[in-house]
Structure 1
Amino acid sequence: MNSTPKRQFALQGAAVILVLSIAWPYYGWKAEAMPWLETSLAIGGVALFFATVSRQPWWWRVIHGGFMPLVWYTYGLAIDPIWFLLAAIFLLLVFRGALSGQVPLYLSNKQTVAALADLLAERGPSRFLDLGAGLGSTTVPLADALPDSHFTGYENAPLTWLVGRFFSLGRPNIRWRWDDLWQARLGEYDVVYAFLSPAPMPRLWEKVKAEMAPGSLFISNSFPPPGVTPDRIVDVDCNPPRPLYCYQL
């Protein structure tokens, strides 16, 4: 199964081409106007079929099935195009990670922060790196709870970085960076934390092995590197479950 954005564009494009290559000649031969509602529903059905056959995750199947019918419905609302431009800019500012690296915006909850604080307390003063730090929902409360440790957050979405930068103000043990997580030098930290998605985990694990120093700790929230047995799993008391997979280097 390949669920990359390019694959999804290809599946949706194939459905559009297939349906239109049949519908346009058919209605042109009959000299009738194209029934766009029915055509959009047909494209959605074909796209759903393609996504199911190629074993895409269930949410991609829903997106494929509903995308073109929603396009037709939205077109009928006659919304000023400027609103679509503003929405696209907003999505880029907040969800850049999802567009560029299949990493959505996840916010760590209070229970997860408490579990991380316990893990850090066991190690003593540490240098902690949060890859994809979002709004600072992990880094800021940890910095308050553990003033003897130093915390760094990497975030590449401009608006979320700005919000996190605001919340980190006045905390000398936080360094807040607007940068790509792949540019981080993992060897400079004692503990590296990631709450990303399954997509980047194989590549990230290779980076962890190559850069992190012996004795350091890698923690992945919810998404373990495939095929790697964690040294410890911390079950966080929250719903939905958010286990912490811990790997001692």
Structure 2
Amino acid sequence: MSATPTRQLALQGAAVILVLSLAWPYFGWTAQAMPWLETSLAIGGVALLFATLSRQPWWWRLIHLTFMPLVWATNTLAIDPSWFLLAFVLLLLVYRGALSGQVPLYLSNKATVAELAKLLGERGPSRFLDLGAGLGSTTVPLADLLPDSHFTGYENAPLTWLVGRLLSLGRPNIRWRWDDLWQAPLGEFDVVYAFLSPVPMPALWQKAKAEMQPGSLFISNSFPVPGEVPSQVIEVDCTPPRPLYCYQI
């Protein structure tokens, strides 16, 4: 079983159903109040078992183990529900990509920008596309360093798009788009850069091969294309390591 959010929800839901289907009849028959702390711990243990049997990554196992106990602990604090709604809205505004496409918000560091600037400088004036551009941590400094090149950023999380849009103001060589990265016409660009996650890489590579022009360059930060040998790997001097996998089309 793969580690998609829907399947993780199914694992947690199965654990809840199994534990409650046993606990409710027992405590109802004995006329005792449900011990919610112990019940939440039992649900966490069963969810951990299901996650282990289905070979989920270790962080998902930890989430399954602690999710229901944390729900119980939070409930005991009697926090106003409006705060949870506000937190959800803010998370959605910033991390929409993680929910819709398993693409979290990653920010490229200065060392990565320096390596990209060096690479683009060697290629000459370019049309550069940043897929999942976030706050503009790649696009904005590159536009300042390479005024003869043109840069486009695609971002679909509203709040991060807004921040990136504000940061890109006054730079005529930047086009900032609020759009789904899968809608980007890759054939219009010489260099396409992505700092996403391992999940979308196979499909994105197929899109790149189908749309990008011969001689153009596809660059993935940190996450190689499965089964493909990059034409170049740039080791960025930073911690943690953030290699740039370059694929010539």
Q: TM-score scaled by structure 1?
A: 0.99
Q: Could you say which residue in structure 2 is the equivalent of 1:9?
A: 9
Deviation at 1:152, TM superposition (A): 0.2
Distance, in Å, in 1 between the alignment partners of 2:19 and 2:229 is: 46
Distance, in Å, in 2 between the alignment partners of 1:187 and 1:132 is: 17
Q: Could you say which residue in structure 2 is the equivalent of 1:48?
A: 48
Q: Could you say which residue in structure 1 is the equivalent of 2:132?
A: 132
Distance, in Å, in 2 between the alignment partners of 1:21 and 1:225 is: 44
Comparing 129-138 with 26-35, which one deviates more in the overlay?
26-35
Deviation at 1:26, TM superposition (A): 1.1
Task: Spell out, residue by residue over 1:102-155, the C-alpha distance to the aligned partner (whole angstroms, 9 max, x if none).
Answer: 000000000000111111011000000000000000000000000000000000
Task: Spell out, residue by residue over 1:71-120, the C-alpha distance to the aligned partner (whole angstroms, 9 max, x if none).
Answer: 00011110111001101100110000000000000000000001111110
Segments of 5+ residues of structure 2 without an aligned counterpart are none
Pair 1:86 & 2:86 matched: yes
SS at match of 2:230: coil
Q: Could you say which residue in structure 1 is the equivalent of 2:214?
A: 214
Deviation at 1:221, TM superposition (A): 0.3
**Identity of counterpart residues, as a percentage?**
82
Task: Spell out, residue by residue over 1:9-39, the C-alpha distance to the aligned partner (whole angstroms, 9 max, x if none).
Answer: 1000011011111111111111111100000
Deviation at 1:225, TM superposition (A): 1.2
After superposition, the CA RMSD in angstroms is 0.6
Matching of residues 106-117 of structure 1 within 5 Å: 106-117=106-117
Which residue identity does 1:184 align to in structure 2?
Answer: A
Q: Could you say which residue in structure 2 is the equivalent of 1:99?
A: 99
Pair 1:150 & 2:150 matched: yes
Distance, in Å, in 1 between the alignment partners of 2:26 and 2:232 is: 62
Q: Could you say which residue in structure 2 is the equivalent of 1:24?
A: 24
Distance, in Å, in 2 between the alignment partners of 1:112 and 1:53 is: 39
Which residue identity does 1:224 align to in structure 2?
Answer: P
Distance, in Å, in 1 between the alignment partners of 2:119 and 2:53 is: 43
Q: TM-score scaled by structure 2?
A: 0.99
Distance, in Å, in 2 between the alignment partners of 1:99 and 1:142 is: 28
Deviation at 1:50, TM superposition (A): 1.0
Task: Spell out, residue by residue over 1:167-224, the C-alpha distance to the aligned partner (whole angstroms, 9 max, x if none).
Answer: 0000000000000000000000000000000111111011001000000000000111
SS at match of 1:129: strand
SS at match of 2:175: strand
Matching of residues 69-84 of structure 1 within 5 Å: 69-84=69-84
Q: Could you say which residue in structure 2 is the equivalent of 1:224?
A: 224
Deviation at 1:62, TM superposition (A): 1.2
SS at match of 1:95: helix
Structure 1 runs of 4+ with >3 Å offset: none
SS at match of 2:204: helix
Deviation at 1:61, TM superposition (A): 1.1
